[in-house]
Each structure stands twice: as C-alpha cells, then as structure tokens.
Amino acid sequence: MYDSNTVGRHRDILDREFKGQNDCRYISPKDGKIKTLVVQCVDDVLSGEANGTWKRTYIRNVSPRFYRLALWPFSHVDMREGKLESAEDWVQLILKWIPSCTLLIVGVSR
C-alpha cells in the first residue's frame, strides 16, 4: 500500500491532469483517461486480505464468441496432452468441427 497522505498527479498527452490518491492506475485505451486498475483473480485471492492498491474482481469468461466457437470442437480434448487418443475422439471432433466452421463462415460473411 502506498502512503495514504500522498497525492498522485498525472498529465496525459491531451493535457488533462489527474490528481488523486496515489494508487495503481492505467490509461484507458478507449478514452485516454486515467482509470483505477482492476485485476481479475481467483476466489482465494478475492476473498483474502486487501493488500494492494488495485481493485479486484472475479474471473469472467469474456473471450469473444467467435474464439469460443472456434475452440468448441476441441472442448473434449485434454489440451495438456494435445493429442486425440481414440477414433471416437476423432469422430466427435469432426462432428463438432462441421457446425463450428459453418457458423464461423456465416458470422464472418455478415
């Protein structure tokens, strides 16, 4: 934790000035303003002692839909091993791959 009596100051490229508590912040890529840092963490850290200058939030599944759809055919495969063990795994992969590719093509062509 930073000393609570200190005041942080930052001036960005658009000459906007921020004065406030000296804590962990970042420059937002959306609007260029200074924002408080928010870190995704596991439940043990989230429910533990607040020992940092950033906010905490639980981990969300925020990956894009197309990315999740592209990985869906491999959802039954153990990615640590990275290989398909049986013919049944291959059949399941192919049966998932066909609708996945079709939906991806339709989604991208819009």
Instruction: Evaluate if residue 14 carries a pLDDT over 80.
Output: no
Do the beta carbons of residue 1 and residue 53 sit within 8 Å? Answer: yes
Q: What is the dihedral of CA 37, 40, 42, 46, to 10 degrees?
A: 40
pTM here?
0.47
Residue 58: CB atoms within 10 A of its CB come to 11
Contacts of 74 (CB under 8 A, 6+ apart): 93
Q: What tokens does 97 get? A: 């791959």
Do the beta carbons of residue 9 and residue 25 sit within 8 Å? Answer: no
Task: Specify the pLDDT at position 69.
Answer: 93
Q: Which residue has the higher pLDDT, 60 or 79?
A: 60
Distance CA 97, CA 109 (A): 18
